Amino acid sequence: MVGSVWGTIPTILYTLENPLIAGGVVLGGVLLGIGGWQAAKRFGWRRGPSVAAGISLGVVLGATFSRTLPDYASMPGVVPRERPFCYVNGFSAVGGNEMINVLLFVPLVFFAVLAVRRVLVVAGAAVALSAVVELLQPLTHRGLCETQDFLNNSAGSLVAAAAGAAVLALGRVASR
């Protein structure tokens, strides 16, 4: 598993070579980081984790919506409107793109749990956001809808929520 995580780095770097994606990630991260700061002030959340969650949300949205339809989605001989709306495939963490989808929501969910201290709400919102992203990608021509991506994002989100809950629990124990 650790080898898979480290093996993901070249895929991430290759993805960020696309100036559209790199720009979307940076712009989204900056704007939503500022939004995280403002939300923390308004709702009484922890500021540092709120900013980190905002930046992470910007990275998620920037990476998923600031690109064009991937080359691999244009299969020879297949007319785009004949493609299924959503490809039904199962969970897999084998491969760079698959592991990116497992890791994509991890920082967002982890920092959001620390910011708002509502583990189940954050986990549920992350799973819902993943579903919305997958459904919007084919409608905006910014990617493919795949159940595997949804499952991978959701698995990463649940692990990150559990890790955030553990950090909150350790903090409560340490403050006694």
Could you report the per-residue pLDDT of 59-80, keeping only the tens digit for each?
Answer: 999 888 887 766 656 555 555 5
Could you report the per-residue pLDDT of 75-119, keeping only the tens digit for each?
Answer: 555 555 667 888 899 998 888 889 999 999 999 999 999 999 999
How many structural domains does the chain have?
Answer: 1
What length does the chain have? Answer: 176
Q: What tokens does 124 get?
A: 């549920």
| Alpha carbon distance 156, 37 (integer Å) | 25
Q: Please name which of 174, 144, 152 lies closest in space to residue 74, comparing C-alpha atoms.
A: 144
pLDDT attached to residue 141: 84
pLDDT attached to residue 82: 66
Could you report the per-residue pLDDT of 139-152, keeping only the tens digit for each?
Answer: 888 888 999 999 99
Q: What is the extent of the structural domain holding 63?
A: 2-72+82-174
pTM, rounded to two decimals: 0.86
Report the range of poorest mean pLDDT among 10-14, 21-25, 84-88, 111-115.
10-14
Asked whether residue 37 is domain-assigned, the answer is yes
Asked whether residue 6 is domain-assigned, the answer is yes
Q: What tokens does 136 get?
A: 């919007």
Asked whether residue 153 is domain-assigned, the answer is yes
Q: What angle do CA 99, 164, 39 make, to 5 degrees?
A: 100
Asked whether residue 77 is domain-assigned, the answer is no
Residues in Cβ contact with 74 at an 8 Å cutoff, skipping those fewer than 6 apart: 80
